[in-house]
Amino acid sequence: MKLSEGKSLVANPGPLGLLGFALTTIMLNLHNADIISLNATILALGIFYGGIAQIIVGAMEYKNGNTFGTIAFTSYGAFWISLVAIWTLPTMGLATAADSMSMAWFLGLWGLFTLFLFIGTLKMSAALQFVFGSLTLLFMLLAIGDATEISEVKILAGYVGIICGLAAMYTGMAQVLNEVYGKVVMPLDLKKKAPHGHASTDGGKTSSQDEA
């Protein structure tokens, strides 16, 4: 359904998911880069903004008919909550602490998952391709860092993660500001096209009803 001036009645949830991912990723990777300690700010973001908010966005993308957005946002929301659980469950006596090889497998599988999503972004905007490409590299570096226990690899991963998070922030805010101004003020691609309807995860249209 659309308003008379052509605006959809359904908000685009994608930017919220991208920003929840972005802020949480930046904070965690400031820790990985050995700039800040692992503390309550990271855990809180991981549960609420990176975790719960992204899962809500995934449900909203499901309603919009966006399979990619549903899978990506719900999965990464669950990832953040799972990661916080990995850190906190042992302190509550509910599980044994994860060893470095278990974490390497955990992060490596997430890297493989992200690689498949990156392939999907090749049909989307350049901005989103960069986010998922750098995220794939981040997971792989973190997995290698845990498997080898080489601290320099983890620090390198931290800087890659900060760049990835900043790229996700740019992509999310670009979708918001482009829609607000009704023109491209923050390009998502080499093609400078005025936004039409609502942006999906990649800055395109949200739902099948818009594509029809």
Q: How does pLDDT run across 151-174, given as a tens digit for each residue?
A: 999 999 999 999 999 999 999 999
Q: With a cut of 80, say whether residue 204 has pLDDT above it.
A: no
Which of the 8 DSSP states describes residue 195? -
DSSP 98: P
Q: What is the average pLDDT across 121-150?
A: 97
Please tell me the least confidently modeled range out of 65-69, 77-81, 160-164, 203-207: 203-207
Confidence of residue 11 (pLDDT cuts 50, 70, 90): confident
Q: How far apart are CA 46 and CA 50, in angstroms?
A: 5
- Binned at pLDDT 50, 70 and 90, residue 7 comes out as low
Give one DSSP letter per residue of 155-190, joined into a string. HHHHHHHHHHHHHHHHHHHHHHHHHHHTS-SS-SSS
Q: Report CA 85 to chain centroid distance, whole Å.
A: 19
Residue located via tokens 């006596």: 93
The single residue listed with the structure tokens 């509550």 is 92
pLDDT digits (tens, 9 = 90+) for 171-194: 999 999 999 999 999 999 976 544
What is the tens place of the pLDDT at every residue in 35-50? Answer: 999 999 999 999 999 9
pTM of the model: 0.85
Question: In b/e form, how buried is each residue of 61-98, taking b as 16+ CB within 10 angstroms?
Answer: bbebebebbbbbbbbbbebbbebbbeeeeeeeeeeeeb
Closest listed residue to residue 122, CA positions, set 202, 66, 38, 33: 202
Residue 56 clears pLDDT 90, i.e. is over it: yes
Residues 6+ apart with CB under 8 A from 191: none
Does the pLDDT value for residue 199 go beyond 50? no
Q: What pLDDT is attached to residue 8?
A: 59
Phi, psi of 161, rounded to the nearest 5 degrees = -65, -40
Structure confidence at residue 9 (pLDDT): 73
